[in-house]
Amino acid sequence: MRLTPRWRKALLVVHVLTAVGWFGADLVLLTLAVAGLAGADARVVYPAAALLAAWLFAPLSAVVWLVGLVNGLGTRWGLFRYRWVLVKLVLTTIMLGLVLFLLVPNLRAAAAQSLEPGAGGHPDLIAPPIVSGSLLVFMTIVSVYKPWGRVKRAEGPARVTATAQPTPAGVRNVRR
């Protein structure tokens, strides 16, 4: 399945926009986590962070992951052909899992605790947006520079013949 140039561009716009949105949501989460530690009202900060995670951060992560899959499958880049795509696939999949199964439940718990008398800050909520934001910056750089070339294929006469591709010989990182 190959996307037509028009669909490819449209999907790339959605891909980049949603990834940028994910990064923005990271910054908001970090702001809330820092505010919570700096003494802002926990009954405001943590329910807001939990809402943001459940209604924006988690859906955006899933959309970035899904659109990334379609981007890979619908273009000559594939999902497992180039290392820069494979690295993004692995990192995004891990991040999506952490968001859905760790961050959202932790923020829900923090929001519930914040309603109890004498509730304080949660230092453990600072690291997730920093790690996630740094990985997103890394993946943006990797996407633009497209380093590391192709994933090596298993050698073998039968396989080489069967999978021969009409790609330009010796060219590793050509777009399109």
Q: State in angstroms the smallest separation of the CB of 158 from ligand HEM.
A: 28
Q: Which residues bind ligand HEM (CB under 6 A)?
A: 8, 12, 15-16, 19, 64-65, 68-69, 71-72, 75, 77, 79, 85, 88-89, 92, 136, 139-140, 143-144
Cα angle 57, 58, 62 (rounded to 5 degrees) comes to 115
As measured in angstroms, the least distance from the Cβ of 7 to ligand HEM is 10
**98 and 29 Cβ atoms separated by less than 8 Å:** no
Rounded Cα distance between 17 and 166, Å, is: 32
Would you say 12 or 104 has its CB closer to ligand HEM?
Answer: 12
Selection from 139, 134, 125, 110 nearest residue 30 by Cα: 125
Tell me whether residue 22 or residue 46 sits nearer to ligand HEM (CB atom): 22
Contact 29, 49 (CB under 8 A): yes
**Between 16 and 126, CB nearer to ligand HEM:** 16
Query: Nearer Cβ to ligand HEM, position 30 or 111?
Result: 30
